Amino acid sequence: MTYKSKFGFGCMRLPLTNADDPTSIDQELFNEMVDIYMDKGFNYFDTSYAYHNGMSEIAIRKAVVERYPRESFKICDKMPTWALTSQEDNDKFVNEMLERLGIDYFDVFFIHNINTPWFKLAESHNSFEYIKKMKEEGTAKKIGFSFHDTSDLLEKVLDKYADILDVVQLELNYLDWEDPAIEAHKCYDLCAKHGLDVYVMEPLKGGVIVNPSDEIKNEFKEFNPDKSIASFAIRFCASLEHVKMVLSGMSKMDDLIDNCDTYENFEVLSDEESEFLEKMAQKLAESVAVPCSECGYCVDACPEMIPIPEYFSLYNLSKNQPESNIYRLYFDKLADEKVPADECTYCGTCLDFCTQKIDIPEELEKVCEHFEEGFTPYAGAP
Ligand code: SF4
Ligand code: SF4
């Protein structure tokens, strides 16, 4: 296996024609990106039933399946665990996914987002046995699950099911490596102990890593002016022995070009670079108020339709750039045009969906306090 073969095209954050509509995928731009990606010898696409409200699978069908021979690309898809209501749903969702993609087998198939409540759901609906059967029958070449919880739960799942699985997809990046809420290092070690491959999601933690404070940006520039911050994050993951795939969600052509360059000229992370990233991770962790990866799962779950990650993003920015016009964005773009953060009813529905274990209602309260107390919207910008 070469380092180049570790570059996976994550299809959760595809380019959009309307930033407020996750289904409005810019198919023309996506096709162009796919052509460059395939032309350079990369071939792995990661999607799920849920991404872009089902439109990610359809966009892949149009850009990849209908334009390239089946043997030239690989597709990974994921069962919507949280939506299972009966054992028959396993079949129903898989058939729907195959149809949306226009294929008759998956190269990789995952039970999506195993955490404490959804592990129970997957078990009670026999999903592990179901994917084992998919592999035996050839509907999936490799099987596993994507994981968002602590190492204790991972150990429990692997002790029970590692024998039938090939891969675990983990959130792994240099910020989460030793983070006590994510435990990426411990989870990676557990997968290695069980002889399973690790596929990496969120190598940039949904953009948190590449949008740090100016101080951190300057430190990266001083350390190596020729390399992007993203390239360090990718190399951190892909340099790990048991990591066989690193997914990059790319919503712009520039992201794709930068990632292609990283893999085409791949260099294993040096000790000096590792030490530098450890230092940057500490600084970044101190500067991020809410470690939201902007995955958006909570938004679909929230009955009030509060644009939760948008509030957290502005809150984080506001903490690092107090003199900017972020207060204006909060009032004009979010609280006025969308649903105000203080409409949270504390129902807690979002909590099971949060991949980062954030206490969303509590943090939304802090967001409201921060903006409402820090600024009088009609008295002018601070
Ligand atoms: S707790 Fe608040 S943010 Fe979470 S789902 Fe309920 S209303 Fe939405
Ligand atoms: S709050 Fe949690 S679920 Fe919502 S977007 Fe952020 S990380 Fe994802």
Residues 6+ apart with CB under 8 A from 248: 7, 8, 9, 10, 203, 204, 234, 255, 259
Helices and strands counted in the chain (H then E): 15, 8
Residue with the nearest Cα to atom 4 of ligand 1?
350
Bridge-based pairing state of the strands 167-171 and 140-147:
parallel
pLDDT tens for the 382 residues of the chain, in order? 789 999 999 999 999 999 989 999 999 999 999 999 999 999 999 999 999 999 999 999 999 999 999 999 999 999 999 999 999 999 999 999 999 999 999 999 999 999 999 999 999 999 999 999 999 999 999 999 999 999 999 999 999 999 999 999 999 999 999 999 899 999 999 999 999 999 999 999 988 999 898 899 999 999 999 999 999 999 999 999 999 999 999 999 999 999 999 999 999 999 999 999 999 999 999 988 999 999 899 998 999 999 999 999 888 888 776 666 777 777 777 777 788 889 999 999 999 999 899 999 999 999 989 888 765 444 333 3
Instruction: Give the ligand with the smallest distance to the CA of 354.
Output: 2
CA 51 to chain centre: 10
How far from each other are the two terminal CA atoms of the chain, in whole angstroms? 54
- Looking at residue 371, its pLDDT comes to 85
Token readout for 159 is 């002790």
Which residue among 82, 299, 304, 308 has the greatest number of ligand 1 atoms within 8 angstroms of its CB, and so is best to mutate? 304
The tens digit of pLDDT for each residue in 137-177 reads 999 999 999 999 999 999 999 999 999 999 999 999 999 99
- If 0-12 CB within 10 Å is exposed, 13-18 middle and 19+ buried, where does residue 266 land? middle
Look-up of token digits 């180049």: 4
Q: Which residues of 321-335 are buried (b: 16+ CB within 10 A; e: fewer)?
A: eeeeebbebbbeebb
Token readout for 297 is 């799962």
- Looking at residue 324, its pLDDT comes to 64
Q: What is the full DSSP assignment across 160-208? A: HHGGG--EEEEE--TTTTT-TTT-HHHHHHHHHHTT-EEEEE-TTGGGT
CA 47 to chain centre: 11
Name every protein residue with a CB atom under 6 angstroms from any ligand 1 atom: 301-302, 304, 306, 308, 344-350, 360-361, 364
Residue 360 Cβ < 6 Å to ligand 2: yes
* Cβ proximity of 278 and 174 under 8 Å: yes
Residues 6+ apart with CB under 8 A from 213: 287, 320
In the chain, the amino acid numbered 296 is G
**16 DSSP β-pair partners:** 25
The tens digit of pLDDT for each residue in 238-266 reads 999 999 999 999 999 999 999 999 999 99
Instruction: Give the ligand with the smallest distance to the CA of 364.
Output: 1
Q: Domains plus CATH for the chain?
A: 3-286 (3.20.20.100), 297-379 (no CATH)
